[in-house]
Structure formats: structure tokens, C-alpha cells
Amino acid sequence: MTIEIGDGGIVIDATLIGPLLKVAPEDVPKLMRDGALTSLCETGVGDDAGTYRLSFFYQGRRVRLQVTEAGEVLRRSIVDYGAAPLPQAMHRPGG
């Protein structure tokens, strides 16, 4: 599974992020439209130039993917607070 990065934006298949967020892939588009599942994209600078950090937030869970301009996933991380909400600081760039 690759991530498509182009002039129109970044497209990620729900089958990639759904399981990481403990969400059925078919539910991802609706959760995003409803604002329950949110995302943040950061562009790498300095040593990280040529990469993007994509963060996804749903309930008490944050998933981060560091990807190349070609859409290859270099790293992924998951923070899970369980039933507790994520701290607001985790929703900010670099947080």
C-alpha cells in the first residue's frame, strides 16, 4: 500500500490508517466528514526535507506516519490513551 502525494494533495487508503486507529476502513471517510477523525500534515525541513509527517487523531489515539515524497512509509508511531482524550498539545504540529 502506498500513499499518493501530488499537486492535488495527499491520498491515503483507509485500509492503511483504519486498523491503526482501531476503526473499520469503511468508516474512515464518514468519521472524517463528521470531524470525529482529524488529521494534520507537516512538511519536513532540514534533515527531514523531502518527507512528510502525517498525523491522524481519533478518540484517545494518535497515529503518525513519516513518509517520503514517493509515498513510502519510513516510520509509524501510535499513542493510545485508551478511554481518556488525547491532550490538546498532541494535536499541534510537532506535538
Question: pLDDT averaged over consecutive 10-residue blocks of the chain (95 residues)?
Answer: 82 94 96 95 93 94 94 93 80 71
Residue 71 corresponds to which amino acid? G
Domain that holds residue 40: 4-91
Domains contained in the chain, number: 1
Please name which of 75, 72, 60 lies closest in space to residue 21, comparing C-alpha atoms: 60
This model's pTM is above 0.85: yes
pLDDT for the residue 24: 97
Nearest to 22 by CA among 71, 61, 69: 61
Cell of 43: 512538511
The pLDDT value given to residue 34: 96
**Domain of 16: which CATH number?**
3.30.505
**pLDDT reported for residue 95:** 64
Report the Cα–Cα distance between both ends of the chain, in Å, rounded.
27
